[in-house]
Structure 1
Amino acid sequence: MTASPAAAAAALTTRAQEVSPRIVDDILTLVRQETSSYDLPGLATGLDLLRELTVQRLGRPDHEHRYPGGECGDTLTLTYAGTGTGTGTGAGHVLLVGHYDTVWPTGALAGWEQPRPSDDGRDRLSGPGIFDMKTGLAQGIWALKLARESGAPLPTVTFLFNGDEEIGSLSSRPVIEETAQKADVTLVLEPTAHGAVKTARKGTGIFQVTATGVEAHAGLAPQDGASAITALSEFVVAAAKVAAPDRGTTINTGLFRGGSAINVVAGQATAGVDIRVSSEAEQTRVDEELDAIKVSDPRVRIEIDHAWNRPPMTLNAASAPLLALAREVAREQGRDSLPDTAVGGASDANFVAALGLPVLCGMGAVGDGAHAQGEFIYPETVPAQTALVAGVLGRLTQPLRD
């Protein structure tokens, strides 16, 4: 006799609670292996560890492929055949995406301190990358394990682990896009926004601005020089005024380098500029207004590399039924609600949404402090989040319908 949806959901959440200590152990195992985006040996070891952990929990995949990342971390896909009624690769095929690189330099773990419980008494676990996003990786692996144990029909599941998300998914983007187009649905295991899934994200630009001036002796002939630093400083101030926070557009110059010596008028200077936009219209406006900026010394040449990294993400028509399904699963598992929200950060979900494909982001950790010293998770939320992904997997043996 087939269990009712309510009974099946209760059994799944109970099982997730039972194995929660093991899931947390796996999270901490991943955190202890540092995987800075710029540490290729560390990334290689981290990906080997992640693959080993996946195989320990799920067995050997039916198909796997490792894509060399060059100057970035490699990308790994592991596919586990489903047991559902879907046929082919388009129906009943779910892609679970998660990055294993972190923003933290190798060595950060040594001086990391655990936080005290929060003011409301909730325990917290901290570590470099624990929130963004090694908890999501472990939860995703265990979600498929628990879904299998439940005996429910399951879709084919492909895990995609990439090691360059924090620096723009420079090598993994084509792999993500190609793999997503072969799947029916994509779930991105990025952290939640205080428990909410993320259905809208800003697009990002990683611009490099170069100023080329004229070098001269700062004491003997300063008038013969044209300072690249002075001109680029003017540009940076003008660029900040192009921001429009009321329209969701922010501009931040995070890196500034220039000059060759203190007594030389600078002939070269560069700036790294982070840009966030909520729409393609804002992207176009920013491009045009930055190009129109003039500096006071015409001898200095300003060149802008308009490197738009991720397109803006919105809740597209294909993703709306997926959100509705996730909310239905959450209700069956006893949640009052499953909110969704828009956030300023970007993720690999931006690429999938731009293709018009169904995607939900923020299916991972509950906590806070991404990219900040002391980022943390609430360990008591691990079983519920794991059960949610497991429950959604169990409902995706057929294509979504409006």
Structure 2
Amino acid sequence: MTASPAAAAAALTTRAQEVSPRIVDDILTLVRQETSSYDLPGLATGLDLLRELTVQRLGRPDHEHRYPGGECGDTLTLTYAGTGTGAGHVVLVGHYDTVWPTGTLAGWEQPRPSDDGRDRLSGPGIFDMKTGLAQGIWALKLARESGAPLPTVTFLFNGDEEIGSLSSRPVIEETAQKADVTLVLEPTAHGAVKTARKGTGIFQVTATGVEAHAGLAPQDGASAITALSEFVVAAAKVAAPDRGTTINTGLFRGGSAINVVAGQATAGVDIRVSSEAEQTRVDEELDAIKVSDPRVSIEIDHAWNRPPMTLNAASAPLLALAREVAREQGRDSLPDTAVGGASDANFVAALGLPVLCGMGAVGDGAHAQGEFIYPDTVPAQTALVAGVLGRLARPLRG
């Protein structure tokens, strides 16, 4: 006799609770291997470890391919054939690179329990997003153990998400287009899935001036640093937080010596927008900025990295399905939210394909010293992804 949905959901959540210590062990194994976006040897070792862990838990994939990343970490796809009679195909996307420089782990301290007494686990990349990677692997393992028909599942692990997915974007888009559904294992927003994300721009601004001796002939010089400072102040005024647009100059470099009027300066500017209209406005208004010294030229590299993500028509049924699974597993609700950060889900949503993001860790502190997860949430999050996989043996229909 086939178990009722409620009984099957209860069995799945119970099993996730039983194996939770092993999932946490795998999370910590991944965290202990540092994988800075800029450390190619560390990334290579980290990807080898991630592949080995996947094979240990799931066996050898039916198909795998490693895409060289060049100056970025490689991208790896591992595909496990489905067991159902349908043609369902799900992609589980997760990045293994982190924002933390190699060597950070040595000085990392574990946090105290939260004010409500809940344990927390911390480490570079544990929240963003190595917990999601381990949970995704175990989700397929638990879904298999449940005996439910399953879709074909492709894991896509990329090592350059934190620096814009410069190498992996074509692989992500191609893989998503061949599948029915994409689930991105990024961390949750305090338990909520992420259905809207801002688009991002990573602009490089270069000021070219005229060098001169700062003491003997300062009037002959035209300071690139002064001009770029004027630009940065003006650019900040282009932001419109009420429209979801923020502008942050995070890097500023320039000059050759303290006694030389600077001949060149560069700035790295992070831009977040909620709509294509704002993207156009920002482009136009930044181009219109003038600096006081006409001898200094300003060049802007308008590098829009990720398009804005919204809950498109294709993704709405997927969100409804995830909420149904969550209810069957005993959750009161599964909220969704919009966030300012971007992810690889932005690429998939822009293609009009079904995607849910934020299916991973529950915790806080992404990109901050002390980022952490609540280990007591690991079973529920793993069971949620497993339950969704168990409902996608056939392609999702809107």
TM-score by length of 1: 0.98
Counterparts in 2 of 1:222 and 1:25: CA distance versus 1, 3 Å: same
Structure 1 residue aligned with 2:267:
271
Q: Measure, in 2, the Cα distance between the counterparts of 1:50 and 1:278.
A: 34
CA contact (8 A) 2:86 2:151 kept: no
- Counterpart Cα distance in 2 of 1:364 and 1:91: 25
Matched position secondary structure for 1:232: helix
Q: Deviations 1:296-321 (Å, cap 9, x if unpaired)?
A: 00000000000000000000000000
Judged with a 3 Å threshold, the aligned counterparts in structure 2 of structure 1 residues 222 and 88 are, in CA distance, closer, same or farther, namely farther
Contact kept in structure 2, 1:108 and 1:128, CA below 8 Å: yes
The question of 1:292 aligning with 2:320 is answered no
2:31–2:124 contact (8 Å) kept in structure 1: yes
- The answer on whether the counterparts of 2:321 and 2:388 sit within 8 Å (CA) in structure 1 is yes
SS at match of 1:382: helix
Give distance in 1, aligned partners of 2:324 and 2:87.
20
Residue 72 of structure 1 corresponds to 72
Deviations 1:220-259 (A, max 9, x none): 1111111000000000000000000000000000000000
Alpha carbons 1:98, 1:189 under 8 Å: kept:
yes
Q: Structure 2, unaligned stretches of length 5 or more?
A: none
Measure the CA separation in 2 of the matches of 1:127 and 1:90: 41
CA contact (8 A) 2:323 2:334 kept: yes
User: C-alpha displacement at 1:127, in angstroms?
Assistant: 0.3
Are the counterparts in 1 of residues 306 and 342 from structure 2 also a CA contact under 8 Å?
A: yes
Q: CA deviation at 1:132?
A: 0.2
The alpha-carbon deviation at position 88 of structure 1 amounts to 12
State how far apart, in whole Å, the 1-side matches of 2:85 and 2:170 are: 18
What is the distance in 2 between the residues matched to 1:149 and 1:387? 12
Q: Check the 8 A contact 1:90/1:183 in 2, yes or no.
A: no
8 A Cα contact 1:90 1:184, kept in partner: no
- Does structure 1 retain, via aligned residues, the 8 Å contact 2:84–2:149? no
Q: Secondary structure at the match of 2:149?
A: coil
> CA–CA distance in 1 between the matches of 2:121 and 2:25?
11
* CA deviation map 1:168-216 (0-9, x unaligned): 0000000000000000000000000000000000000000000000011
Q: Would the alpha carbon gap of residues 375 and 175 (structure 1) be closer, same or farther in structure 2, given more than 3 Å must change?
A: same
Query: In the aligned structure 2, how far is the partner of 1:375 from the partner of 1:265?
Result: 42
User: Contact conserved, 2:85 with 2:393, CA < 8 A, in 1?
Assistant: no
- Superposition deviation, residue 400 in structure 1: 1.5
* Deviation of the 1:87 alpha carbon: 11
State the Cα deviation string for residues 123-159 of structure 1 (Å, max 9, x = none): 0000000000000000000000000000000000000
Counterpart CA distance in 2 for 1:51 and 1:181 is 23
Kindly report structure 1 stretches of 4+ aligned residues shifted beyond 6 Å.
86-90
TM superposition shift of 1:76 = 0.1
Q: 1:251 to 1:89 in 2, by over 3 A?
A: farther
Q: Report SS of the residue matched to 1:74.
A: strand
* CA-to-aligned-CA distance 1:307-346 (integer Å, 9 cap, x gap): 0000000000000000000000000000000000000000
Give the structure-2-normalised TM-score: 0.99
Percentage identity across paired residues of the two chains? 98
SS at match of 1:46: helix
Q: Number of aligned residue pairs: give it.
A: 398
Deviations 1:98-123 (A, max 9, x none): 00000000000000000000000000
Q: Distance in 2 between matches of 1:72 and 1:400?
A: 34
TM-aligned CA deviation for residue 292 of structure 1: 0.2
RMSD of aligned C-alpha atoms?
Answer: 1.3
Correspondence for 1:382 among 378, 381, 384 = 378
- SS of 1:123's partner is coil
Q: Which runs of 5+ in 1 are unaligned?
A: none
Q: Distance in 1 between matches of 2:66 and 2:318?
A: 29
* Structure 1 residue 91 displacement after superposition: 3.6
Q: Find the aligned partners of 1:210 and 1:113 in 2 and give their Cα distance.
A: 39
Task: Tell me by how many angstroms 1:389 deviates.
Answer: 0.1
Using the TM superposition, give the Cα deviation of residue 89 of structure 1 relative to its aligned residue in structure 2, in angstroms: 12
**Alpha carbons of structure 1 residues 337 and 143: separation in structure 2 relative to 1, 3 Å:** same
- Does the 8 Å contact 1:90/1:182 carry over to 2? no
Residue 53 of structure 1: aligned partner: 53
Evaluate the alpha carbon distance shift between residue 356 and residue 28 of structure 1 in structure 2; reply closer, same or farther with a 3 A threshold. same
